Amino acid sequence: MDTAAIIREILTDYALHPRGFHGVVHWARVLENGLKLAEATGANQDVVTLFALFHDSRRVNDGHDWGHGLRGAQLAKRLRGNAFDLDDASFELLFRACEWHTEGESDSDLTVCTCWDADRLDLGRVGIRPDPKYLCTKAARSPAIIEWADKRARREFEPTFVIEGWGIPLDFPGE
Ligand SMILES: [Fe+2]
Ligand SMILES: [Fe+2]
């Protein structure tokens, strides 16, 4: 999957600064959280990857921003078959994971749960330590995983592919 091409598409019409609180560096950590969790949960890695890129892609502010999950899901629908391909069943999971990632508490599907946990494990960037009560996979509730992800979130750790793969330099222009 060409995540750099998808990022380029998303950013052509992105309302916030790409390096903001809910921007590309958050997406990159959510992506790595999700792939790490997927090793244990068996989640669909394509869905987890696409969720990381799309779930906050249509935010218009850094607050609660009601409806941003659905807007992100709709953008994924628009780019499907163009920037990426996904079978119907997997796309349904991606859409649901994006749409309900703020309100959803738990889901019967482990891939959806893995997406939500990947996002919640990054709460440390706003000073909130993930509470196992709000994590829906056993893998994410592991103290070692919480510690690993929380440390990275708090330090605003940036995966190297943000600059090297996605082409978002530190002084990337916003808006
Ligand atoms: Fe969100
Ligand atoms: Fe998020």
Tens-digit pLDDT profile for the chain (175 aa)? 999 999 999 999 999 999 999 999 999 999 999 999 999 999 999 999 999 999 999 999 999 999 999 999 999 999 999 999 999 999 999 999 999 999 988 889 999 999 999 999 999 998 999 999 999 999 999 999 999 999 999 999 999 999 999 999 998 887 6
> What's the pLDDT score for residue 44?
98
Establish if 168 belongs to a structural domain.
no
Domain count, the chain: 1
* Residues, beta carbon < 5 Å, ion ligand 2: 56, 119
Establish if 167 belongs to a structural domain.
no
Establish if 74 belongs to a structural domain.
yes
Ligand nearest 26 Cα, by number?
A: 2
- The range of the structural domain enclosing residue 62 comes to 3-162
Separation of alpha carbons 12 and 137, rounded Å: 34
Q: Which residues have a Cβ under 8 Å from the Cβ of 119 and sit 6 or more positions away?
A: 30, 33, 51, 52, 55, 101
How many whole angstroms from 57 Cα to the centroid of ligand 1? 8
Establish if 172 belongs to a structural domain.
no
Separation of alpha carbons 104 and 85, rounded Å: 25
CATH number, position 108: 1.10.3210.10
> What's the pLDDT score for residue 175?
60
Ligand nearest 30 Cα, by number?
A: 2
How many whole angstroms from 47 Cα to the centroid of ligand 1? 16
